[in-house]
Structure 1
Amino acid sequence: MKDNFAAIPVFVAVIESGNFSSAAEKLGMTKSAVSKRISVLEDNLGVRLFNRTTRSIALTEAGEHFSDYARNALVIANEGFAALHNQQDIPKGTLKINAPMTFTRLHIVPYIKEFLALYPDVKVVLSMDDRVVSLVEGGFDVGIRIGKLEDSSLVAKKLVDCKSVLCASPHYIAAHGKPSKPEQLSQHNCIHYSLFQGGAEWTFYKDNKKIGIEPKGNFIVNNSDAIAEALLNGLGICQMPTFIVAEHLKSNKLISLMDDYTLPKHAIYAVYPERKHLPEKVRVFIEFMSNKLGDGFGYWDK
């Protein structure tokens, strides 16, 4: 069956050229290779497609009947190749994106209108989910990932740095005091993000020393928006990415703590399954978001 499909362009070329020699020249093949391909096709189909003489060839009745199907098949295939080529050259089609909920709400959704205005032939299907899901199994074209990348089979492009800060509200600090070192956190209500890929431990660095603390508290949640709201309401202390709390820090609704300690450095990535033949719709989206987010350094930190 595979050989039959491969022989269709050869069969059509012979019809259009009128002989094996011209068809061979058109296809960049030898005359004997063309003749053999047609003979194999005839053997597989169990019919003679051409009547051959030393000077000319002519379609048989079966060949005439088959020629319409062969021509149509070749036209449809070429149209498909052209459509794929155009899709690669021009951003178009459905772009399926998987991204974490809070980051996407704050820093991707506000730019979707502009992106779609720039690329009107693209349709965005956005799945916001704080869980890390398989791009391949979910049929996603591109994903946004924060922190440690678990799936090494994906291609990753760094978009921006992801800074974090230990913070609490002035109301909480007034009621419970301000910790100055990691060991004192055991005396505080530490809010924990249950989907944090770094594990349960909070890590701090000072004077080239790593200090690990397991936070204890009465609120564990799988959504960063909920943590931000709890912090603003004075529930406790948490390590938070600045892409969520930068505005609250600037307005003094939240206060950064233990600033003489350094928190682990993370980054925000665009990930996709294949480096080769990257669809144009994916390439322009990654480029667009990289520029909007700050081209390496998050605009919220500037």
Structure 2
Amino acid sequence: MGEAEDAVNAHTLAPQGVLRVTSSLSFATIYLAPMLPALRRLYPKLSVHIAVANRYLDFIEAGIDVAIRTRLHEPDSHIMVRRLGRMRRVLAASPAYLEERGRPATPADLVQHDMLVYNLAADPFSLRLTRGDTERIVRIGAALDCNDGQVIRQAAIAGLGILIQPLYIVQADIEAGRLMPVLLDWQLPMLTMNIAYQNRDHLPAKIRVFNEFLVNHVRSTSNSQIWSA
């Protein structure tokens, strides 16, 4: 019994096998890939398979263990959700675009601009902006609409138009001057990001340690202006 208990404890402390994770390309690039070396040093018998997808993959069909998702609730009651954080979304464009087309002064001005739209967002062509108690809803067209944030980001840097993206995707570009935020006194709805996984009586150690490691990594490496726990 003692040997069996030691074996169970060792397996719990040293998870092993393949962990299958799915997330957007942006999240995988900015957060998952950079944290994997430290994760592997702690758990060398654990390997990670990342399925990059902006649409939500089915857990069973795709064999997914953990999914990073931006919806508040899961339609399947067998899926557990743990909040990773809430983040700001911003409007931003390249200095060259703003020099040529001017900066929008009000939400209504966006109608006259070339917009770069993430087409998997909820109602992507309608923007709800608030400033204090004032709310404005603006219907926009698109110079480009795409299902991947990195394509939109690169198009904005190249000067194609004004993007609407979570701040974590473009923060480095803003700090480097490649992109400049606009309408800073107006706020877009916050975006909630969750960790989702199947509800089980005994959560596998590989899922438990990965979830804890990811939460700590995001909160320790992110600017507080981007994420709110």
The normalised TM-score by structure 1 is 0.67
Residue 152 of structure 1: how far off its partner (Å): 4.9
Instruction: Give, as a single letter, the amino acid of the residue that structure 2 aligns with 1:156.
Output: V
Residue 198 of structure 1: how far off its partner (Å): 4.9
Counterpart in the other structure of 2:40: 116
The superposition leaves residues 91-132 of structure 1 with CA deviations (integer Å, 9 ceiling, x where unpaired) of 122111111111111111011121111101112111111111
CA contact (8 A) 1:169 1:231 kept: yes
Counterpart in the other structure of 1:171: 96
From the CA coordinates, give the structure whose radius of gyration is larger: 1
Please say if 1:146 is aligned against 2:70. yes
- Secondary structure, aligned partner of 1:127: strand
Counterpart in the other structure of 1:235: 160
Residue 88 of structure 1: how far off its partner (Å): 4.5
- Secondary structure, aligned partner of 2:115: coil
Runs of 5+ in structure 1 lacking a partner? Answer: 1-78
**The one of 133, 136, 139 aligned to 1:214:** 139
Task: Sort the Cα spacing of 1:198 and 1:111 in 2 relative to 1 into closer, same or farther, 3 A.
Answer: farther
Residue 218 of structure 1: how far off its partner (Å): 2.2
Counterpart in the other structure of 2:57: 133
Moved more, 229-238 or 153-162: 153-162
**The one of 186, 199, 222 aligned to 1:298:** 222
Task: Sort the Cα spacing of 1:199 and 1:187 in 2 relative to 1 into closer, same or farther, 3 A.
Answer: closer
Task: Sort the Cα spacing of 1:140 and 1:190 in 2 relative to 1 into closer, same or farther, 3 A.
Answer: same
Instruction: Give, as a single letter, the amino acid of the residue that structure 1 aligns with 2:22.
Output: N
- Secondary structure, aligned partner of 1:132: coil
Runs of 5+ in structure 2 lacking a partner? Answer: none
Residue 214 of structure 1: how far off its partner (Å): 2.2
- Secondary structure, aligned partner of 2:214: helix
Residue 184 of structure 1: how far off its partner (Å): 1.0
Residue 243 of structure 1: how far off its partner (Å): 0.9
CA contact (8 A) 1:164 1:239 kept: yes
Residue 238 of structure 1: how far off its partner (Å): 1.4
**Structure 2 CA distance for aligned equivalents of residues 186 and 88 of structure 1:** 55
Please say if 1:267 is aligned against 2:161. no
**Structure 1 CA distance for aligned equivalents of residues 161 and 128 of structure 2:** 18
Tell which has more relative contact order, 1 or 2 (C-alpha 8 A, sep 6+): 2
- Secondary structure, aligned partner of 1:228: helix
Task: Sort the Cα spacing of 1:117 and 1:89 in 2 relative to 1 into closer, same or farther, 3 A.
Answer: closer
Residue 301 of structure 1: how far off its partner (Å): 3.7
CA contact (8 A) 1:172 1:236 kept: yes
**Structure 2 CA distance for aligned equivalents of residues 102 and 300 of structure 1:** 19
Counterpart in the other structure of 2:115: 190
**The one of 16, 19, 26 aligned to 1:102:** 26
**Structure 2 CA distance for aligned equivalents of residues 114 and 198 of structure 1:** 38
Task: Sort the Cα spacing of 1:98 and 1:250 in 2 relative to 1 into closer, same or farther, 3 A.
Answer: same
Structure whose residues are more often helix by fraction: 1
Residue 222 of structure 1: how far off its partner (Å): 1.2
Counterpart in the other structure of 1:288: 213
Task: Sort the Cα spacing of 1:162 and 1:232 in 2 relative to 1 into closer, same or farther, 3 A.
Answer: same
Moved more, 146-155 or 93-102: 146-155
CA contact (8 A) 1:87 1:279 kept: no
User: How many residue pairs align between the two structures?
Assistant: 222
**Structure 1 CA distance for aligned equivalents of residues 24 and 73 of structure 2:** 14
Counterpart in the other structure of 2:177: 252
The normalised TM-score by structure 2 is 0.87
**Structure 1 CA distance for aligned equivalents of residues 148 and 138 of structure 2:** 21
Task: Sort the Cα spacing of 1:150 and 1:211 in 2 relative to 1 into closer, same or farther, 3 A.
Answer: farther
Structure whose residues are more often strand by fraction: 2
Q: Matched residues, percent identical? A: 27
